[in-house]
């Protein structure tokens, strides 16, 4: 069953989304050549604490950091370390927070300085794919209309969608039902209702959709080591239309 949120829950989730958006904007500004991913994670941890929130990923199934920092061919779940990002890299930042028992989750891919035009296109297409998915997050649609819109947009632009990782319901837990794949046929799955809240998160590869996990058990990379981008918003389905909680 997909949990439906009360108006009170939605109010709290709106606040959780607003705070996370604020933090992510600051993290984006910190992305510069020469900065280590550990430094960005330390900043995230400080900003989350300043907002009286808890980092949702730290300790989640043993994940060692607050932020997932995924560079270049890392798809998701990159672990922050002393490695310094450099001009021409792309860096995906994924952060989840817990605000008084309410969770929000959001990700962005940020260019480091001037990047290759094909990487620019990858970022632009992934971001727009998220928007295309969100447009379908409306009352009366079926769940897979979101998935299908993302896949169509990405593949029409010559890139591929990751199969191994998917979006998810969110609310009183970081991960709730349902799973939201970024691929699939239209008009399948649950009918969307007011009060459902989803983390929609296309992960888009420049080359093959296939992925693999590195020996640390976390870091997911593209099988062909070509670049990957990731955007995510926490979105409420409401009678007034999709409400992007992490973008206000």
What are the beta bridge partners of residue 19? none
Number of residues that bind Mg ion (CB under 5 A): 5
Cis amide prior to 178 (ω within 30 degrees): yes
CB count in 10 Å sphere of residue 187: 12
Does 176 contact Mg ion by CB under 5 A?
no
Q: How far is the CB of 8 from Mg ion (least distance, A)?
A: 23
> Residue 92 corresponds to which tokens in the numbers above?
């995906």
CB count in 10 Å sphere of residue 43: 18
Q: How far is the CB of 246 from Mg ion (least distance, A)?
A: 10
Query: Closer to Mg ion at the Cβ: 141 or 182?
Result: 182
- Choose one: 38-46, 90-98, 151-159, 203-211; the region binding Mg ion (CB under 5 A): 90-98
CB count in 10 Å sphere of residue 206: 19
Q: How far is the CB of 171 from Mg ion (least distance, A)?
A: 12
Task: State which of positions 24-43 bind Mg ion (CB under 5 A).
Answer: none
Task: State which of positions 97-156 bind Mg ion (CB under 5 A).
Answer: 105, 107
Residue burial 108-122, b: 16+ Cβ < 10 Å; e: rest: bbbbbeebeeebeeb
Q: How far is the CB of 68 from Mg ion (least distance, A)?
A: 7
How many angstroms separate the Cα of 229 from the Cα of each of 60, 72, 123, 226? 22, 8, 6, 10
151 by DSSP, 3-state: which? helix
Query: Closer to Mg ion at the Cβ: 105 or 243?
Result: 105
Site string for Mg ion, 189-208 (x = CB under 5 A): ----------x---------
Query: Closer to Mg ion at the Cβ: 195 or 202?
Result: 202
Q: How far is the CB of 114 from Mg ion (least distance, A)?
A: 27
Q: How far is the CB of 158 from Mg ion (least distance, A)?
A: 25
Site string for Mg ion, 46-75 (x = CB under 5 A): ------------------------------
* Helix and strand totals (H; E) in the chain: 4, 15
Sole binder of Mg ion in the list 9, 41, 89, 94 (CB under 5 A): 94
Nearest Cα residue to 129 out of 15, 197, 236, 205: 205
Q: How far is the CB of 76 from Mg ion (least distance, A)?
A: 8
Angle (nearest 5°) at CA 203 between 202 and 209: 125
Give the interface with Mg ion as residue ranges (CB under 5 A).
94, 105, 107, 199, 232
């Amino acid at each position: 069953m997909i949990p439906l949120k009360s108006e009170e829950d939605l109010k709290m989730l709106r606040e959780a989304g607003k705070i996370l958006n604020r933090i992510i904007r600051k993290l984006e500004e910190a992305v510069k050549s020469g900065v280590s991913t550990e430094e960005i994670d330390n900043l995230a941890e400080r900003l989350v604490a300043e907002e009286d929130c808890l980092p949702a990923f730290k300790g989640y199934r043993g994940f060692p950091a607050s932020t997932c920092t995924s560079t270049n061919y890392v798809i998701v779940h990159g672990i922050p370390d002393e490695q310094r990002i450099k001009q021409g890299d792309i860096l995906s930042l994924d952060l989840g927070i817990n605000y008084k028992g309410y969770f929000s989750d959001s990700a962005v891919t940020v260019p480091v300085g001037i990047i290759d035009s094909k990487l620019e296109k990858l970022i632009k297409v992934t971001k727009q794919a998220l928007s295309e998915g969100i447009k379908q997050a409306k009352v009366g649609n079926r769940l897979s209309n979101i998935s299908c819109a993302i896949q169509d947009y990405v593949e029409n632009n010559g890139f591929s969608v990751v199969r191994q990782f998917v979006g998810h319901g969110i609310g009183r837990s970081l991960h709730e039902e349902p799973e939201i794949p970024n691929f699939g046929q239209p008009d399948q799955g649950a009918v969307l209702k007011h009060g459902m809240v989803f983390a929609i998160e296309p992960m888009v590869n420049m080359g093959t959709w296939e992925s693999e996990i590195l020996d640390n058990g976390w870091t997911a990379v593209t099988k062909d080591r070509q670049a990957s981008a990731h955007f995510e918003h926490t979105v409420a389905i409401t009678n007034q239309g999709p409400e992007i909680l992490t973008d206000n």
